[in-house]
Structure formats: C-alpha cells, structure tokens
C-alpha cells in the first residue's frame, strides 16, 4: 500500500496522531527490530496519548492558572502558610475524587482578614445545609 494515501486516510478518520506516528516509524530504521504487533501497538497507543495530552492542555488553559508549571514538589511549606504535609500528600493521591468528595479552599482577603463566608460543601450522600429563610434547594 502507498504511504501517502494511508496517511491521508488516517487524517480523514481524525487519527492525526496515528498518522504522525506512522510517518515517524517509516523514518526510523531501528523500528524494523520490532515485531508487527509491537509496531501496530505503538501506532494505536499514539492516538489516545495525543488526545489525552490535548485534553489536559485545554483544561490547564481554561483553568487560567497563575503559575503554569506548578507542581506539588515545588510547594513551599513555610510555617506562615500553615500547610499540613500529610493532608497535601493525601489530596495528591486523588482518592477524594474517586470517593466523590469535594475540597473547599478558604483564603484570606488581601487585607489579611478572614474570609467573610464559605459556601456549603456537599459530600456524596449528604445534602448541603439549608439556608435560613430559603428553600434549601430542590425537593
């Protein structure tokens, strides 16, 4: 089969990353040492990897983070910040996501005063507290 029609067909099927991986394989002389199954596996793996990377990039862009390359390893545990290392490690595992729990971050105002109010946080299986004078949500 001809290379260019194959690449065009992959792109038409919206498998651009697989087409790029195929072109890379064609240019790499060392790829001949791999079996057919291994080569196809590399091609197939390229597409979901590319999609996941694009999805992550889009979400990071939408988050409008102030520090783009922030990571837990660079977190400063200065005493004035009053951060609990154990809690940070526990949150880093992502278990709270799998358990459908919510995390609430309270921050101080710019003038150093405490936060004026905190929204109720619902944990799966519980309802948020009712507001005074309100209906407390749908029934």
> Using CA atoms, how far apart are residues 40 and 105, in angstroms rounded to an integer?
45
Other beta carbons less than 10 A from residue 21's beta carbon:
21
User: 138 Cβ partners below 8 Å, 6+ apart?
Assistant: none
Give the model's pLDDT for residue 125: 39
Give the model's pLDDT for residue 122: 39
Can you give the residue ranges of every domain in the chain?
Answer: 3-63
Ranges under pLDDT 70 in the chain: 1, 104-139
Three-class SS of residue 62?
helix
The predicted model scores a pTM of 0.55
> Using CA atoms, how far apart are residues 106 and 18, in angstroms rounded to an integer?
44
């Amino acid at each position: 089969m001809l290379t260019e029609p194959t690449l065009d067909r992959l792109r038409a099927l919206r498998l651009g990353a697989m087409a790029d991986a195929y072109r890379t394989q064609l240019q790499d002389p060392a790829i001949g040492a791999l079996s057919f199954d291994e080569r196809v596996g590399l091609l197939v793996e390229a597409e979901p990897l590319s999609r996941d990377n694009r999805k992550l990039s889009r979400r990071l862009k939408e988050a409008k983070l102030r520090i783009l390359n922030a990571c837990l390893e660079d977190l400063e545990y200065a005493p004035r910040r009053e951060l609990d290392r154990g809690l940070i490690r526990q949150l880093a595992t992502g278990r709270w996501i799998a358990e459908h729990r919510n995390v609430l971050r309270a921050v101080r105002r710019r003038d150093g005063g405490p936060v004026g109010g905190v929204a109720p946080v619902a944990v799966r299986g519980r309802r948020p507290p009712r507001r005074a004078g309100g209906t407390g949500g749908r029934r």
